[in-house]
Chains A and B, each alone.
Chain A
Amino acid sequence: MFLSSDDAKAIADKVLAYSRADACTVQIEGGLDQSLRFARGGATTNLASAEASLRVSSHIGGRIGSCSISHFDDEALAAAVARSEEIARMLPVDPDYVAPLGPQNYGFSNRYDETTANLHLDALAGAAARVIEEGARIGVDTFGCATTARRFDAFATSAGLFAYERRSEIDLSATARNRADTWSGWAGAHQFFADRLDAEQIARVACFKGAHDATPVDLEPGVYTVVLEPEATTELAFWLMRAMEARAADEGRSFFTRPGGGGALIGEKLFDEKLTIRVDPADPLAPEAAVGFEGLPHRARDFIEKGIVTTLYRSRVWAQKTGVEAIPFPRNFVMSGGDVSIDDMVRSVRRGVLVTRFWYTNIVERKNLLLTGLTRDGNFLIENGRIVAPMRNMRFNQRLGDLFGNIKALGPTRRTWRAAGDGGAAAAPAMLVEGFNFSSKSSGI
């Protein structure tokens, strides 16, 4: 169920009017998600789903109780308010209680387009058909998913704040596997505007990458130079950004804790000077939402600038406790790029690996940001500046500090794929790094 700003505000006002608490917040979200999947060149599953939820949080005597519902009729709203107040009264007083925000000055995040918002499943079937046709032309099996979403988020408080954002989304991702089932390629894109999604290009790249009949070569585990395509770079940067929490650093349980336990490493140069990661609601490639967690405004800011840690995200509670500005968790980010093409990166490598993307990455050790995962869907051996063969997938165990501390070259920043529906967006460049630790072989194709 998609609500306009006026409709969302009318519901929020009703909830606030029902409230008998000291303070109250209302969060409403919903929209329409549509998707279809295809496999071996034909449709498998599809859905259209109209979603809606409303969460009311009642603040009573420094205690907060919350209740969420999926129906917005008057009776349900009143019952939700009453229940949240009932819960609040039963809870212990929060020693670090923070009252709801008042009016905020938000920027504008341009993530909505009527044309994209009004797409139907037939448009997605059309995009899928581009991939299926290209697969048939090249002689590979194709698999994929196309999704479109139209979503809104509204947040209101009894202190006078009302915020509303909407976004439209479309994504297409495609996997191509050779007919012997011994090799695969992948490509994908996510956009807020349908006219920026090039289904033909996704089809071409996925099928081109998947169309290798040569037996993939095995590489012995060890330390290698790697050329990471933007999707792979984004995956690694995502884990770095997720670790940039002020409280964990302040409490001595983070990669970003100063040695000896003396607080967070803000202002320290921890990474290569080529590394800059920023968040910006006005970014044209990967705009962050204007409204962050707890209603905090997202501002344009660097988290890492030329290798120096400049910002860690910080909840309102922790900000109050430490007397430092609250900064919302960044769900979107942009990693600055350079001007070296992937071809030029490959030409500079004597022996190494070109990685399309990673799979099942997970932090193994938070202190040293040791990340594990595997390569997937397009791994190629580089020898003497040339791609010489498809290469079987490998597991890696890699410390992110070492990886982002030793960047040899960056390509232009490009918007990367994330599944539609969660509002996430990221942009990153291809990256050439040395000393990447492949720890074992995988037969998984």
Chain B
Amino acid sequence: MAAAAPSPIKASCRTRSAFALDRALLHDLADIALTAALQSGASYADLRIGETRREYAFAKDGRLENFDERESQGFGLRVLLDGCWGFYGARRLDPHSLRDGVERALENARAVKPIQFQPIELERLPVHEAEWIMPMGVDPFEIPASEKADLLLSIIASARDHGADFCSASISAACEERFFANSLGSRIHQTRTRVAPSFQATAVDRASGRFTTRDCLTPARGAGWDYILSAGLIEEAARAGQEARAKLGAKPVAPDDYDVVIDPTNLWLTIHETIGHSTELDRVLGWEANFAGTSFVKPSMLNELRFGSELMTIVADRAQPGALATIGYDDDGATAKAAEFAIVEKGVFKNFQMALGQAHLIGLSHSNGCAYADSPTTFPIQRMPNISLMPNPQKCSFDDLISDVENGIYVVGAGSWSIDQQRDNFQFGGQLFYEIKNGKLGDLLRDGAYQGRTTQFWNSLSGLCDASAYHLDGTFTCGKAEPMQVAPVSHGSSPALFRNVRVLNTSD
């Protein structure tokens, strides 16, 4: 559990083999593009060059359906000309393409000038020359395809041997290498890797026509193959097969208001949707009003809004080992240190997440390291760092947490999810629902989902486990913006107790 005291990331000594792109070429291309942009009148320019490697293996029941390796390179140049952004991205990495990119980016800046009524303003940016390499055990791209296929088929066999009629399983891996350069002199070279195991066990009762599923609870992580091997996926698949079967015969949830204990395997998504997105400044400013939405949180609520109970402290970071948004510098070139801040402290709203060009719009002097572009060829926008619920500083075990729950429900694993565009009204499903009766875990239930309103829900937080129960979860694919970009992000928490939460029966 590292959220309690995220340590600053230092530029580490790299080994040349950690980077695939040629260093001299990157610097040459940056010099060509950024010099040309400034000579053409741009007041600022930045450049991202990168290579992304991906691997995806998918198996269903007895067969491997897909094994795909992907490798893509590209660049994206952003220029600021007369107060207007212009952006151009392409896949070829050679001096001619970069020079052409400068012209196209400048053309785009000129094209939007007629509707740029408020010039883009930038804060003072510090200059960094650095390299950062994510610490990793075993590189997943070095593992033979046969080993990955064997693992997937073993997961499936395990689930089917233990009660599932069907099972599908996948492993995703991604490695991002990025070189950032700007016209102020920053030159930052970074690489990080992430992996995501997944499976779904399905049990069918043909007589009744009902079927149930139980999804993998092992989270995606910024990690290597050693994480996959240590995750106990085959054993978890066996439990999933049993639990999918058990859900078929479980008692239906009786819809009512309950005290709900939420496991980190479910709570991460609630944190993501209700806190992560509601505190993004671009949404608050209306920049996402046409698609991802705005927010119920307003600038006037800084240091005023009672977001949740005293137990609620939410921190941002880019430093948690194994977390998906951990990196040395964001896509505006800001250090990870900038992204260490509290979003909510003891229940009070404290900070927005910001990218370059936003802070001054709410009277602040600088942004806080929350920019990301999902490809070198896309415009960097405000995206979440890791955002986590701090564990209870007082000692509290899971048994302690549920001990004073008379009639409650324990929710494990993320299910179907939905939230309104201002991040107020939400409804989340789960993988497993259990009764809590008189302080003890009881029977498995089926067909549950919980519904709530964001601040009402977080103000009902009345119990929280300590750091010994902290767990980091997350996703590869948080979607935002037009055109849609997807971002990896992690959220950590300990099991938490919320009072009087509306629980639905989804089969009613």
What B residues does A67 contact at CB under 8 A? Answer: 68-71
Contact between B483 and A128, CB atoms less than 8 A apart: no
The A contact surface, by secondary structure, is: strand
Instruction: Choose the segment among A356-364, A406-414, A427-435 that binds chain B (4+ C-beta atoms closer than 8 Å).
Output: A356-364
Residue among B68, B202, B449, B451 with the highest chain A CB neighbour number at 10 A:
B68
Contact call A373/B166, Cβ cutoff below 8 A:
no
* B421 at interface, CB cutoff 8 A: yes
Give chain A residues whose Cβ lies under 8 Å from the Cβ of B13: none
Distance A323 CA – B72 CA, assembled complex (angstroms): 39
CB pair B290 A174 closer than 8 Å: yes
Q: Which of A212-220, A250-258, A282-290, A302-310 contacts B (4 or more CB under 8 A)?
A: A250-258
| Residues of A bordering B, CB below 8 Å | 1, 33-53, 55, 64-71, 83-84, 87, 90-92, 94-96, 120-122, 124-125, 128-129, 132, 141, 143-145, 147, 173-175, 177, 184, 186, 251-253, 257, 259-261, 317, 359-368, 370, 372-374, 376, 393, 395, 397, 419, 421, 439-445
The reply to whether A69 and B71 form a contact with Cβ atoms under 8 Å apart is: yes
Instruction: Give the shortest distance, in Å, between A414 (CB) and chain B (any CB).
Output: 20
| Nearest 10 Cβ contacts at the A-B interface | A261-B206, A444-B420, A444-B422, A442-B425, A70-B72, A121-B111, A68-B70, A143-B289, A145-B482, A90-B146
A residues near B293, Cβ cutoff 8 Å? 359, 444
B204 at the interface (CB under 8 A from A): yes
If the complex has contacts A68-B68, A251-B204, are A125 and B115 also in contact, measured as CB distance less than 8 A?
yes
Within 8 Å of chain A (Cβ to Cβ): is B178?
no
Q: Which residue of A lies closest to B429 (CB)?
A: A364
Q: Which of A34, A43, A393 contacts B115 (CB 8 A)?
A: A43
A365 close to B507 (CB less than 8 A): yes
Question: In the complex, which residue of chain A has the Cβ closest to the Cβ of B502?
Answer: A440
Give complex CA distance A90, B466 in Å: 46
Q: How many residues of B are in contact with the other chain, CB < 8 A?
A: 87
Given A36-B111, A50-B91, A444-B420, 9 more contacts at CB 8 Å? A39-B289, A55-B70, A66-B69, A121-B107, A367-B507, A439-B451, A442-B422, A444-B293, A444-B422
The stretch among B23-31, B79-87, B218-226, B341-349 that forms the contact with chain A is B79-87
| Complex Cα spacing A261 to B70, Å | 39
Contact (Cβ within 8 A) B73 A71: yes
Residues of A within 8 A of B153 (CB): 92
Docked CA distance A65–B69 (Å):
9
- Among A38, A132, A361, the most chain B Cβ lie within 10 Å of the Cβ of A38
Query: Chain A residues with Cβ under 8 A from B425's Cβ?
Result: 374, 393, 395, 440-444
* Shortest Cβ distance from residue A419 to the other chain B in the assembled complex, whole angstroms: 7
Q: Mark B106-138, 1 if CB is under 8 A from A, else 0.
A: 011001101111100000000000000000000
Whether A251 and B420, one on each chain, are in contact in the complex, defined by CB atoms closer than 8 angstroms, is: no
Q: How far is the CA of A1 from the CA of B101 in the complex (A)?
A: 13
Residues in B neighbouring A361, C-beta threshold 8 A:
418
Given A35-B482, A45-B381, check contact A363 B416 (CB 8 Å).
yes
Contact B89 A40 (CB under 8 A): no
| A-B residue pairs in contact (CB < 8 Å), sample of 10 | A53-B72, A70-B91, A87-B67, A87-B69, A91-B64, A91-B67, A121-B112, A253-B211, A372-B418, A395-B427
- CA A352 to CA B371, docked complex, whole Å: 43
Q: Kindly state the separation between the CA atoms of A36 and B379 in the bound complex, as whole angstroms.
A: 11
Q: Which residues of chain B in 395-436 are interfacial with respect to chain A, using CB atoms and an 8 Å cutoff?
A: 415-425, 427, 429
Select which of B62, B63, B72, B484 is within 8 A of A419 by beta carbon. Answer: B484
B306 is an interface residue with CB less than 8 A from chain A: no
> Quick check: A360 and B115 within 8 Å, CB to CB?
no
User: Are A121 and B418 in touch, CB under 8 angstroms?
Assistant: no
